[in-house]
Amino acid sequence: MTGRLSLMKKTALFPFFLIMAFIILSGCTNTDNIDNSNDTSWHNCMDINGTVLGCLNPDSRVHLYQMERLDFPAVMNIIKATEPTGSAFLSTNQHFFFHCVPPGTYVLAIPASSYNSSYGSPIPEGRRQNNLSVRVIYQGGDSGYMVTVFTIERALHNSDFPPSHSQRTLLGTFPMRRPHRVFRVSDP
C-alpha cells in the first residue's frame, strides 16, 4: 500500500514540476532586448529611400539635414554651415536609403561636385510606413547643392476628415443622393 501511495504522489507531482519548469523557462526567454534593426513597426520613425536624378560620379553621397525653417535661403545656409544628420552612399542605380528617420522636416542634399553632367534632385519615395507618410515640399538648388525639402508626418486617414455628402468619381465630384423623407397624410 505504501509503495502504491508513493507512486501516486510521484505521478501527481510530475505535472506540477512540469508546469513550474515551463513558467520559469518562459520567463528566462525575454525577447524585449533583441534588436531587429530592419523592423521599424514599433518605432515612431520611417525608412526613407529614393532615387537621385541626373548623372552622378561613382561613390557619391546624399546628405540628410533636419530643418526648422523651409525658406530656400535658410535651407541653403544651414546646409553650408552645419554637419548633416546622416549620409548615405548611392547605389549603382542611384538609389539611397536612410533607416528609421523620425517625424520632422528634412532636406536631402547632394553637392554639385558629385554630378558628371546633368543635375537633378534627390527624390524620396512618397509612401506610408508606421502610420507616417512623406510629403515633398520643394526641390531646387544653387551652384553648390541640389536639394529636396520634405516632411515626415502622421498619415491622414479617412476618419481624419468630416463626412462629405459628395462622391468622387473619375468624371468629377458629384453630390450624393440623400434619401427623401416620406410624408404620410397624417403628418402635419
Complete domains list, the chain, with CATH: 46-157 (2.60.40)
Tell me the sheet residues that pair with 46: 101
Share of the chain above pLDDT 70, in %: 60
Neighbours of 43 (CB within 10 A): 15
- 65-74 average pLDDT score: 92
pLDDT tens string 91-101: 988 999 999 99
| Greater model confidence, 30 or 134 | 134
Contact by Cβ (8 Å): 130, 43: yes
d(CA 151, CA 69): 12
SS3 sequence, the chain?
CHHHHHHHHHHHHHHHHHHHHHHHHHHHCCCCCCCCCCCCCCCCCEEEEEEECCCECCCCEEEEEEECCCCHHHHHHHHHHCCCCEEEECCCCCEEEEEEECCEEEEEEEEHHHECCCCCCEEECCCEECCEEEEEEEEEECCCEEEEEEEEEECCCHHHCCCCCEEEECCEEEECCCCCCCCCCCCC
Largest Cα span, the chain: 99
Give the predicted TM-score (pTM) of the model: 0.61
Q: What is the CB neighbour count within 10 angstroms for residue 56?
A: 20
pLDDT digits (tens, 9 = 90+) for 112-167: 999 888 888 898 987 788 789 899 999 998 989 999 999 998 876 555 445 555 55
Residue 170 confidence (pLDDT) above 60: no
Dihedrals phi, psi of 98, to nearest 5 degrees: -125, 130
Average pLDDT, integer, range 43-55: 87
CB 7 within 8 A of CB 1: no
